[in-house]
Every structure is written in structure tokens, then in C-alpha cells.
Amino acid sequence: MMKFHILTLFPEMVEQGLNTSILGRAIENGLISIEAVNIRDYTENKHGRVDDYTYGGGAGMLMQAQPVYDCHRAVSGGRNVRTIYVTPAGRVFNQGLAQELSMEEELIFLCGHYEGIDERALEAVATDRISIGDYVLTGGELPAMVMVDAVARLVPGVLGNDESASYESFSDGLLEYPQYSRPALWMDKPVPKILLSGDHKRVEEWRHEQAIEVTKRYRPELYEKYSEKINEIKKH
Ligand code: ADE
């Protein structure tokens, strides 16, 4: 059972989003657990405050060190648990990193809000700082959910056979080929003939060619990487 803990000021946001569909089934089956923990529950401030102005001035409030540290301590119990601070000021998440994180037994995601979190708390608890891309969101909850989803689907058994077979994109470095379902003719548009041929080998070849075309068109830099890799393999 892989355990995910999400430390946040908005636990309901995370709970609602992650207990549905495939991840909901995985939780029911005991393959993963997802716990959202409210950082506010750990503040020592008698008014329940968790934020304050930043030293040095400037707009916006900062989450204070004490509630974040104590919340983390309560969840980790002092054990060494890989702890990801979710921030645009970190390394960028990708499939390789998802694979690496899926090897852990337990992960803690720390979500900031407002202008972020006091650096001293981050130094004390964060083992990683990870962004989901070069754009700024209002908080770390959505990025944490993105990462939990990407990691959880790699846990053995979370995807059924049908689901896992269907998504090879990124594992071979190419984007996915186009797919079609019934009817064979829709709005005067036919399904590519090869797919109706029943010739499994030609279908696979066609899909591979299409994956290359799609990658060239939408992600030329990914295609460059892919063709370099293929050329390396051919040389040896
Ligand atoms: N918090 C706000 N924007 C973010 C992003 N792009 N990635 C991770 N955390 C964030």
C-alpha cells in the first residue's frame, strides 16, 4: 500500500478531487491511501492564524513556519519521509520523476498558499521542490493532485489491464497516435482503412508512424530526442 499525505489549508479541495474514478477504486482496493491534513489544525495561534507579513516588506502574506513544521512532524512522526514542496520555484515534474516517486512507500506533499511558506520550515522538512510547469497557480493543491494522480497510476494494480495497455505515450518518448471507435463513418469522415483490416502487424506499424507524425508536429523537441535515441541504438 503506497501512502500519500497532502498538507494543505484546503483539505476538502484535495479530498473531493482524488477519491473518484480510478484512484477511488484503488483506495477501496487498499492499493493506495490518500490523506489530506489541514495545516491550520496545528497552529498555536489562538485565533487560528497561519500567515503573517513578510520581513523586508512587499505585498502578500506568508505561511508561518510553526504550523507547517508541527503538521509535518505529526504526519511523519519523525521518520524520514520524502517530502515534496509543491512550488513553481522547483524542478519540473515529468514522467521520469513520476516513476521515481512511485518507488517510495510513502510521500508527503506540502502545499503553499498566499506568497508561499517561511523558508526555515521548508529547509527543515522538504526533501524535494517540484513544479508542474512554467505558469503560476493560486496554490499548490492542484499541482499536488496532478502529481499524486501521475504517481498513483504507476503503483502496480492501480490501472486495470485495459487501462495500462492503452497509454504507452512517454514511455517510448513519443506522443500517442490517433484512435477511433464506432461508427466507421461519421460526418462523412471514415476511420483509416488499415484499422479495419485486421492485420495486426500493419496496424502496429501505422500507429508507430502516426505517433512519429504527431510528435513531430506538436512536440518537435521531443521528436529530436527520440530520433537521437533511435540513431544511437542503430549505431550499436
Ligand atoms: N504553485 C503555484 N503554481 C505552481 C506550479 N506551476 N507548480 C507547482 N506549484 C505551484
How remote is the CA of residue 79 from the centroid of ligand 1, in Å? 26
Query: What are the tens digits of pLDDT across the range 65-79?
Result: 999 999 999 999 999
Q: Which of 105-109, 124-128, 230-234 shows the lowest mean pLDDT across its residues?
A: 230-234
pLDDT value of residue 137? 96
Residue spans of the domains in the chain: they are 2-152, 170-235
User: Which of 97, 81, 65 lies closest to 5, judged by CA?
Assistant: 81
How many angstroms does the Cα of residue 143 sit away from the middle of ligand 1? 6
Residue-wise pLDDT tens digits, 183-193: 999 999 999 99
pTM (two decimals) = 0.93
> Which protein residue's CA is at the shortest distance from atom 5 of ligand 1?
88
Distance CA 147, CA 132 (A): 8
Q: Per CATH, which fold does 170-235 belong to?
A: Trp Operon Repressor; Chain A (1.10.1270)
32: number of Cβ within 10 Å: 20
CA distance 165 to 177: 14
Give the rounded percent of residues in the chain with a pLDDT score beyond 70: 96
Ligand 1 centroid to residue 212 C-alpha, Å: 31
Contact 145, 152 (CB under 8 A): no
Task: Please state whether 211 falls in left (phi above 0), alpha (psi between -120 and 50) or beta.
Answer: alpha
Ligand 1, atom 2: closest residue by C-alpha: 137
Q: Find out whether 148 and 95 touch, Cβ atoms under 8 Å.
A: no
**Beta-strand runs (E) in 82-190:** 83-92, 106-111, 128-131, 185-186, 189-190
d(CA 211, CA 223): 10
Select the CATH number that applies to the domain covering 2-152 from these four: 1.10.3720.10, 3.10.450.50, 3.40.1280.10, 3.80.30.20: 3.40.1280.10
217's grid cell:
508536429
pLDDT value at position 129?
A: 98
* Ligand 1 closest atom vs CA 136: 3
Q: Residue 89: what are its φ and ψ, rounded to 5°?
A: -90, 60
Pocket test for ligand 1, best of 131, 142, 147, 148 (most atoms within 8 A of CB): 131
Equal CATH topology for 2-152 and 170-235: no
Query: Which residue, chain included where needed, has cell 510513502?
Result: 106
